[in-house]
Structure 1
């Protein structure tokens, strides 16, 4: 096995791996043919400071080759299924899919008999890179638990690209895109970032180009426990809401001053990094991703959002979301849930395994998520559990419809459904070839493409990355 792929997440080795591929989705190493200048930050004028990104994406797709997968069962991610179909990838995009497609000369042809093709899985809630392996205190950078309001912190500034969890999520779970969020000790935890699951030396080299930022918020037990234990507000759920409302009132005033300045000129207001983020939420440029368990609290948060003129894009964990599926649908708010996690604290006790299916049945935008470095490697199996629970309860949901919970709905919640999340011509070729039914515990990814480039191949030792922090596994070539 080539050293570049065995040790792909150590500094020099990333360069080696990229050179072997002939391209690199990072920040200057061995790129594919020129496709324009690197992304540049907007001019550093005082106006629009909240939306200017001083840490822009330098992501560049790996070089791929035109590839046709034929004789395969396809789930398109939006509820469609094609039996014995074909799908063509070229120039980093989905070109065509159907029973037969036109194939360019020289394309790589893969026989997918008895196999399945799906869009790459999207995990809307992850802490990879912020809580990386090895899991030691020195690497614990996911939660700035020093104040209930830390809207000024950005998760990307803690992302360690060498976290072996990224490789595991790609190879074991077929995860091609993920949102990295700050932790949930704070009412306002800071900005989240959306990453492509590619090898890079820097967080900027992994940033999903054009993806909106998110704002991590939290309600319930976590913030009241963390700060109440310090003898400060909030120590109750009403304290949570009070601090939230006061902070949003400050943000509205901050926005008013900046709006006035941008319209009329004069002396610019004093810049506040945290308020920049909240102003971005109030203008709709930054999406609220809210940790919340109880149905009553989710309803209160949606009312608070109306009071201050913003929208909650998604509630995460949301174990009681099944109680308010109609409210979520009416407010256009998604719910990201687990299949069957429950009982680890009081606000998680009223969970039911039919949650995801009931939300879908109510017409709400619903999806699976991990919040876990192990769970991200088997999100397909988590959906299989939720799907089985829904069917036992009498709901008719096809496998193809359930795949929306893994790809298209998360893409909607991240504001990137026009780019990825389903197999439609013109979208990014983020694709997984499964060796069998992807809802079986016996199935796993055989090949994974990101932007049409083959980044994982179970049959090619050179494309089976192993981290510096893992011993070799039987069959990997590292163990005799």
Structure 2
């Protein structure tokens, strides 16, 4: 009988690293190396494409007099936030000592944790949106677990700096697209300027695994006369692929298989599943399939019908990453309602507001406010501090980074936004944004308004062409 523990034990053996890269003595002597004796580096804790992220330098900073939403559901009026050396030091009232800190007068303003987008395609579908930049869907097979979104991320995408400046986004998950049942690995990034994607990779963040159900896979592949062409075909292909991965995990003599390595990582619980799914009935079936195969869904994305099964989602510990009001653009989106987030919150289920858009990522705060307002109209009052959690700590939890960021708790990364007004107001925007305690955006300082390298040197109106 295949068990979760046996998968974990044998999967770990299959994934063990065997050698490191470097210059061999044969290379140095000008001889041909013995390629038959060489083995790939393998995946250690850092992975074969490890993060090289280093925080930008920051200053000890005290934000004084603000209304603070800490991300956990708490609010402090006239409060103080202290951070230094990249970490939150303390959050409290005016009695906190600010000696040794640069003091920022934040009276009349608001402070939140950095905004986190759990569902983005920045870098994989960058601006300008042209065919040459379409790198998010490896639409060549219904299952492509072997592909990694980070290998398509273009760090010069202007969308990154727009999300920082206009939306206060400090961390984001870049996912493959949803053409495939299994689209590949996602990557979590710190929203900082970098020459390489490794320089943006969130250190210690687990990989995600993008899956999709419903219309997209059956439309893409059924139209080519291939399986799946139906929803039952979707499930059949998924189940057989998982069974093949379990066989691989239990075969010590199997040749290395990049696709199955990713699937074994999911079965081991090391890689978190993020499943594009709209209909309530399909989400329920997916949760049953996950139990059958021995994995867990971290979040259903888009999830326009999540409100129908809030109790099931709560009981299974699955978050719903949703829009405020996207609706009706295809059949499986027709039962979307404005009160989706409010009904989920009422059931005690995990709510996350996501973007799936280079535009909406710049106003996740406003999207959250729209969902809150829809609940209020339906008689479901949700306080502002809880709503801020939808775009901070709840997202971090579903991405597996909540021990490091997502709230203004001592010891966590100093990912902080100072808003010029109520962050749930359409009239407010970030005034300053810190990532790991480094001031990377300041609306009042032109030197701290990041611009993508791609935009530098672009000819403007009247320039010589």
TM-score, structure 2 length as denominator? 0.89
Deviations 1:427-462 (A, max 9, x none): 000000000000111100000000000000000000
Is 1:200 matched with 2:194? yes
Unaligned runs of 5+ in 2: 1-14, 20-38, 458-465
Indicate conservation of the 8 Å contact 2:243/2:293, yes or no: yes
Give CA deviations for 1:374-418 in whole Å, capped at 9, x if unaligned: 000000000000000111111121101111101000000000100
Structure 2 partner of 1:179? 173
Within 5 Å, give how 1:264-279 maps onto structure 2.
268-279=253-264
Does the CA contact (< 8 Å) of 2:136 and 2:176 recur in 1? Answer: yes
Q: Which moved more, 1:358-367 or 1:182-191?
A: 358-367
SS at match of 1:324: helix
Could you say what secondary structure the match of 1:443 adopts? coil
Output the CA distance in 2 between the equivalents of 1:204 and 1:127: 17
In the alignment, which residue of structure 2 is the partner of 1:226?
A: 220
CA distance, structure 1, for counterparts of residue 234 and residue 254 of structure 2: 28
The change in CA–CA distance for 1:193 and 1:101 in structure 2 (over 3 A counts) is farther
Question: Hey, what does 1:253 align to over in structure 2?
Answer: 247
Is the Cα–Cα contact under 8 Å of residues 169 and 377 in structure 1 kept in the other structure? yes
Give, in whole Å, the separation in 2 of the partners of 1:368 and 1:452. 25
Cα distance change of structure 1 residues 433 and 227 upon mapping to structure 2, 3 Å threshold = same
Deviation at 1:98, TM superposition (A): 0.6
**Helix, strand or coil at the partner of 1:88:** strand
CA contact (8 A) 1:134 1:469 kept: no
Which residue number in structure 2 is paired with residue 30 of structure 1? none
| Deviation (angstroms), 1:100 | 3.1
Q: Deviations over 1:219-259 (max 9, x none)?
A: 000000000011100000000000000000001111122xx
Give aligned pairs, total.
424
Cα distance in structure 2, aligned partners of 1:47 and 1:160: 26
Residue aligned with 2:396, SS: helix
Which residue, out of 3, 11, 18, partners 1:44? 18
Could you state the TM-score of these two structures normalised by the residue count of structure 1? 0.86
Q: CA deviation at 1:465?
A: 1.9
* Cα 1:158/1:101, change in 2 over 3 Å: farther
Does the alignment pair 1:298 with 2:283? Answer: yes
Q: 2:58 touches 2:85 (CA, 8 Å); kept in 1?
A: yes
1:116 counterpart residue number: 110
Q: Distance in 1 between matches of 2:109 and 2:412?
A: 22
The correspondence of residues 361-372 of structure 1 with structure 2, limited to 5 A, is 361-372=346-357
How far 1:48 sits from its partner (Å)?
A: 11
Q: What is the RMSD computed on CA atoms of the aligned residues? A: 1.9
Quick one: which of 425, 430, 454 aligns to 2:439?
Answer: 454
Which residue in the other structure is 1:169 paired with?
A: 163
The 8 Å contact of residues 72 and 85 in structure 1, kept in 2 or not, is answered as yes
**SS of the residue aligned with 1:178?**
strand
Q: Is the 8 A contact 1:88 1:103 kept in 2?
A: no
Question: Aligned match of 2:90 in 86, 92, 96?
Answer: 96
Partner residue in 2 for 1:36: none
Q: After TM superposition, give the deviation of residue 49 of structure 1 in Å.
A: 4.7
* Counterpart among 363, 375, 386 of residue 390 in structure 1: 375
State yes or no: 1:282 paired with 2:260: no
Are the aligned partners of 1:326 and 1:364 in contact in 2 as well (CA < 8 Å)?
yes
Deviations 1:189-211 (A, max 9, x none): 00000000001111100000000
Structure 2 CA distance, aligned partners of 1:429 and 1:113? 20
Indicate the SS of the match to 1:254.
helix
Q: Which runs of 5+ in 1 are unaligned?
A: 1-40, 262-267, 473-480
Check whether the contact 1:282–1:310 (CA below 8 A) recurs between aligned residues. Answer: yes
Are 1:156 and 2:150 matched, yes or no? yes
Per the alignment, residue 328 of structure 1 pairs with: 313
Confirm or deny: 8 A CA contact 2:17 2:43 kept in the other structure.
no
User: Residues 117-159 of structure 1, C-alpha deviation per residue, up to 9 Å, x if partnerless?
Assistant: 0000000000000001111111111110000010000000000
